[in-house]
Amino acid sequence: MPTDPKALLAKYQPKAAKPISLDQQLCALRFSPDGKTLAAGSFEGSVRLWDASANPIAESPALKGHNGWVQRVAFHPDGKRLISADSWGQVMCWPFTEKDAKPVWSVPNAHDSWVYSLAISKDGKVLATGGRDKTIRITNPIDGKKLNVFNVGEHVLTLAFHPDGKSLVSGDLKGQIKQWDLATGKVVREMDAKEMFLRDRIQDVGGVRCFEFSPDGKSLFAGGSLPKSGGFVQGISLILSFDWATGKGTQLYKGATENEGYVYDMAWHSGGFLIGITSGQPGQGKLFFQQPGDAVPFYTQAIPNPHSLAMHPEGKRIVLAATNANSSGNGRALGKNKEYPGNFSPLHVFDLPA
Amino acid sequence: MLRSNLCTPADHHLSRRQWFGTAAGAAFTVAAPSFAQTVKKKHKQVLFVWLDGGMSQLESWDPKPNTQFGGPFRTIQTSVPGIHVSELCPKSAKVMHHLALVRSLCTQDNSHSAGVERIQRGDPKNRGVTYPFFGGAVSKLLGNGDSGLPPYIWIKPMSGGFIPKDGGFLGPKYGALALGDGKPPENLLRPATMSVAEDLERNDLRNLVDKRYAERRSKENIEATKYVFDMAAQLQKRRDLFEAPFAPKDQERYGTHDLGRHMLLARRMLEAGVTFVKVNSYGWDTHGDNFNGQGSLVPQFDQAFAAMIEDLHERGMLDNVLVIAMSEFGRTPRINGHIGRDHWPEAWSLVTAGTGIQKGVVVGKTNDKGTFVASEEHDIGHMFHTWFKALGIDPKATEYDNEGQPLPIAHDGCKAVKELLL
């Protein structure tokens, strides 16, 4: 039985801390398993690190060696290693707790192009990465050696392991979800999220952007949007919930307007609800808490263009990598010192009652 | 009931009747002594690829990898040592030895509404007249050659029609015949239900009506009507341009998407002798999700464009055809919150090739971050001077004659970019 939304809100009303300003834009954000480290992939080829046990969180030296965008970061379950993947196809493994950490291993051409997605199995034995090259690379996370390659046939935007550790699911640009048998490398079944894709003129728009499993493995949540146009990329944000037993999908969350864009990231909270973020047109976007079965979220908060969401392993805190205000505009608009200003990703920190 | 003066998509469909009527109804201006005679022997032609909305220079011709605004993509080497382009352009990279890149464009307008016309009209000084689009200007200056086909054909998605505004003050005769989705104008061909004899009888009736019509109209209007009718008649004789199938291999090379199909038809139009062929692609205004957007769009352009360059080269047509691919502006280096790039006329790029143009060169450069031009800036007026010269037209010596008013054919404060010219 769903919990009364008012009771949920009373119990989990988040408290916002002062946003932490940064000098770069970020792609990805994740907490380490012990909750003491926060890692972010940046637009400028580095992995930024923070001591998340400090208050406020304190930045540590960045991990350098990537190129382009560090699109995804994920901590190994052993809590000792961090895996990162970039837009030039490189995947790296870092002993992130060490001072002046050097990569444990690095595969420069793990993919032929942009690595969009990354997931590590719960037992820590399998690393999966997916990319613009339309493949999934199965890797041994201990040494970086290739174990297998699955041909998906489309850009692999997101990946997730089922909690049972036996299956991997991929979400692609065309809205197709595939369940892969890790042992055989074959597609076990497909699930349909094609409403998340649009061919507008000659532009491919949308795709399945993020996954989250319920802890019991009975539900797979897929985030994206109902795209309405290319160019500006307008779309109504959307989460589909798939019954793992039957593969049947139902709508869990649907945004209100075409300006909300993609559901870029999600996390399941032990209180029985999903926490999600929507990309939004410039200056827009939001954080929301959605209980399965409810018509609307029990909590929403406007946040300018959040791109990633990290939840503390104990569920006490969430951190969003968002965007500064006034991030868009045509033509020459110079800063106070006549320099051409870039944008950056402030970190929005919310504490949740235990 | 008042009728709205706003047009609807249906208004842009071209019927044979509309085609004649439009050209006859608008003002017609006699231009200067025909320059076409001078260059007729060489029959220069133009392929003008318009990527409407704004191609990102950083994801195509002027990448800045591993910099603040560089985005996620890598660069690749081209067939010309030292020239690199975005990894989204692998096929163009292989034909770079035929191409010239201009990385120093700095233009005046960051809005689509004004920018499209401003760029395609060459942004001349204000002389109190509306200048023709480049296609109209070239049609006027080069004429329609020996093909007998309309000199200015515009292949575009969606609806077609006769677009008189492209002729500017030169008059509707120099407007564009737009082929919506590459299809011939509606009602162009004689209906199957009408016999040849009936068609001839109908033409006799039309001639009679035209004669009466001409008695009460200016000579220019009548000339325009006759001109457009003659073009229609010629087009009717060339059904093969629309009906002959393309080789499957060519369809594969150009792509089965709209831009690929339209470029392939453009090749056929150029082979048939059309003076100016414009190919339009819409949807390049990637304010949101730019890197997936340009990542989707640019490779499709790259495929069709490189195939066209290969084919023009193999047919020896690059010696006579001027090729241009561009937008109304580039896209901001700054990446906005929706992971998009906005409009940026300050520092952007285009590609050009073919007759009169240097091969395998880059002109101009931007600074390390790609934010501003770090060499001499070039406005669209400079490019018009350059392209006219490439076509064998001296832009300093050639003028339009607007009913006695001499007008320069390109911005008289600009000049040709010498590094681009053979």
Q: What string of pLDDT tens digits covers the 354 residues of chain A?
A: 778 999 999 999 999 999 999 999 999 999 999 999 999 999 999 999 999 999 899 999 999 999 999 999 999 999 999 999 999 999 999 999 999 999 999 999 999 999 999 999 999 999 999 999 999 999 999 999 999 999 999 999 999 999 998 899 999 999 999 999 998 999 999 999 999 999 999 999 999 999 999 999 999 999 999 999 999 999 999 999 999 999 999 999 999 999 999 999 999 999 999 999 999 999 999 999 999 999 999 999 999 999 999 999 999 999 999 999 999 999 998 988 899 999 999 999 999 986
Short-list B171, B368, B72, B64, CA closest to A115: B72
What's the number of domains chain A is made of? 2
For residue B148, the model assigns a pLDDT of 87
A10 with A65, same domain: the answer is no
Q: What is the DSSP letter of A12?
A: H
Cβ A233–B73 below 8 Å, yes or no? no
For residue B411, the model assigns a pLDDT of 97
Cβ B337–A283 below 8 Å, yes or no? yes
Whether B102 and B349 have beta carbons less than 8 Å apart is answered as yes
Cβ A67–B285 below 8 Å, yes or no? no
- pLDDT by residue for chain B (422 residues), tens only, comes to 333 333 333 333 434 444 443 443 333 333 344 455 555 556 999 999 999 999 999 999 999 999 999 999 999 999 999 999 999 999 999 999 999 999 999 999 999 989 999 999 999 999 999 999 999 999 999 998 888 899 999 999 999 988 989 999 999 889 999 999 999 877 766 788 889 899 889 888 988 888 888 887 877 667 777 777 777 777 878 889 998 999 999 999 999 999 999 999 999 999 999 999 999 999 999 999 999 999 999 999 999 999 999 999 999 999 999 999 999 999 999 999 999 999 999 999 999 999 999 999 999 999 999 999 999 999 999 999 999 999 999 999 999 999 899 999 999 999 999 999 99
Cβ B70–A68 below 8 Å, yes or no? yes
CATH number for position B271 = 3.40.720
A81 with A46, same domain: the answer is yes
A180 with A248, same domain: the answer is no
| Pairs of CB atoms within 8 A across A/B | 145
What's the number of domains chain B is made of? 1
A46 with A168, same domain: the answer is yes
For residue B15, the model assigns a pLDDT of 42
Closest residue of chain A to B297, computed from CA coordinates: A203
Cβ B258–A200 below 8 Å, yes or no? no
What is the total residue count of chain A? 354
Residue A198 lies in a domain: no
Residue A206 lies in a domain: no
Q: Does B256 touch chain A (CB under 8 A)?
A: no
Whether B355 and B319 have beta carbons less than 8 Å apart is answered as yes
**Mutation for A interface: B336, B371, B373, most A CBs within 10 A:** B336
Cα B310 to Cα B293: distance, rounded to the nearest angstrom:
26
Residue B191 lies in a domain: no
Cα B333 to Cα B58: distance, rounded to the nearest angstrom:
8
A188 with A278, same domain: the answer is no
Residue A202 lies in a domain: no
Contacting residues for B6 by C-beta, under 8 A, at least 6 apart: none
Residue B336 lies in a domain: yes
For residue B190, the model assigns a pLDDT of 75
| Per-residue pLDDT tens digits for A15-48 | 999 999 999 999 999 999 999 999 999 999 999 9
Return the sign of the alpha-carbon dihedral for residues B312, B314, B320, B325: positive
A161 with A257, same domain: the answer is no
Cβ A202–B285 below 8 Å, yes or no? no
Whether A92 and A141 have beta carbons less than 8 Å apart is answered as no
**Mutation for A interface: B289, B301, B329, B366, most A CBs within 10 A:** B289
Return the sign of the alpha-carbon dihedral for residues A190, A195, A197, A201: positive
Residue B117 lies in a domain: yes
Q: Phi/psi of residue A43, each to 5°?
A: -75, -5
Q: Does A117 touch chain B (CB under 8 A)?
A: no
Cβ B72–A69 below 8 Å, yes or no? yes
Whether B280 and B259 have beta carbons less than 8 Å apart is answered as no
Whether A148 and A113 have beta carbons less than 8 Å apart is answered as no
Interface of B with A in 336-355 (CB under 8 A): 336-340, 342-346
Q: Which domain holds residue B328?
A: 11-186+199-420
Residue A201 lies in a domain: no
Nearest Cβ partner for A88 among B74, B283, B371 = B74
Token pair for A55: 């208050």
CATH number for position A128 = 2.130.10.10
Grouping H, G, I as helix, E, B as strand and the rest as coil, residue A308 is strand
Cα A104 to Cα A9: distance, rounded to the nearest angstrom:
43
Cβ A202–B345 below 8 Å, yes or no? no
Residue A208 lies in a domain: no
A90 with A144, same domain: the answer is yes
Contacting residues for A47 by C-beta, under 8 A, at least 6 apart: A39, A40, A41, A62, A63, A64, A66, A70, A73, A82, A84, A94, A96
Q: Which residue among A141, A162, A192 closes a domain?
A: A192
Q: Rounded to an integer, what is the distance from CA A337 to the centroid of its chain?
A: 35
A235 with A351, same domain: the answer is yes
Token pair for B132: 């023709």
Residue type, B151: P
Full DSSP string of B362-412: EE--B-TTSSSBSS--B-HHHHHHHHHHHTT--TTT-EEEETTEEEESS-T
Q: What is the largest CA-CA distance in chain B?
A: 71
Q: Rounded to an integer, what is the distance from CA B320 to the centroid of its chain?
A: 16
Cα A326 to Cα B393: distance, rounded to the nearest angstrom:
47
Q: Does A202 touch chain B (CB under 8 A)?
A: yes
Residue A200 lies in a domain: no
Interface of B with A in 288-327 (CB under 8 A): 288-289, 292-293, 295-297, 300
Q: Phi/psi of residue A214, each to 5°?
A: -70, 150
Supply the angle between the helices B16-25 and B219-237 in degrees, to the nearest 10: 150
What's the mean per-residue pLDDT of chain A? 96
Using DSSP bridges, classify how beta strands B99-105 and B361-363 pair: parallel, antiparallel or unpaired: parallel
Residues of B in contact with A113 (CB under 8 A): 74, 87
Residues of A in contact with B296 (CB under 8 A): 202-205, 230
Q: Which domain holds residue A2?
A: 1-31+214-354
What is the total residue count of chain B? 422
Partners of A130 in the β-ladder: A117, A136
A91 with A8, same domain: the answer is no
Q: Rounded to an integer, what is the distance from CA B421 to the centroid of its chain?
A: 20
A222 with A265, same domain: the answer is yes
Interface of B with A in 49-88 (CB under 8 A): 53, 65-74, 87
Interface of A with B in 229-258 (CB under 8 A): 230-234
Radius of gyration of chain A from its Cα atoms, rounded to whole angstroms: 19
For residue B31, the model assigns a pLDDT of 39
A163 with A275, same domain: the answer is no
Contacting residues for B125 by C-beta, under 8 A, at least 6 apart: B408, B411, B412, B413
Whether B356 and B392 have beta carbons less than 8 Å apart is answered as yes
Cα A138 to Cα A130: distance, rounded to the nearest angstrom:
9
Whether A18 and A351 have beta carbons less than 8 Å apart is answered as no
A48 with A101, same domain: the answer is yes
Closest residue of chain B to A205, computed from CA coordinates: B293
Using DSSP bridges, classify how beta strands A156-161 and A167-172 pair: parallel, antiparallel or unpaired: antiparallel
Residue B147 lies in a domain: yes
Q: Does B158 touch chain A (CB under 8 A)?
A: no
Cβ A327–B334 below 8 Å, yes or no? yes
Q: Does A114 touch chain B (CB under 8 A)?
A: yes
Residue type, B57: Q
Cα A25 to Cα A343: distance, rounded to the nearest angstrom:
7
Q: Which residue among A162, A192, A222 closes a domain?
A: A192
Residue B407 lies in a domain: yes
For residue B3, the model assigns a pLDDT of 34
Residues of A in contact with B299 (CB under 8 A): none
Cβ A231–B288 below 8 Å, yes or no? yes
Cα A163 to Cα A244: distance, rounded to the nearest angstrom:
11
Cβ A324–B289 below 8 Å, yes or no? no
Supply the angle between the helices B134-142 and B380-390 in degrees, to the nearest 10: 30
Residue B5 lies in a domain: no
Q: Does B333 touch chain A (CB under 8 A)?
A: yes
Token pair for B338: 């929706």
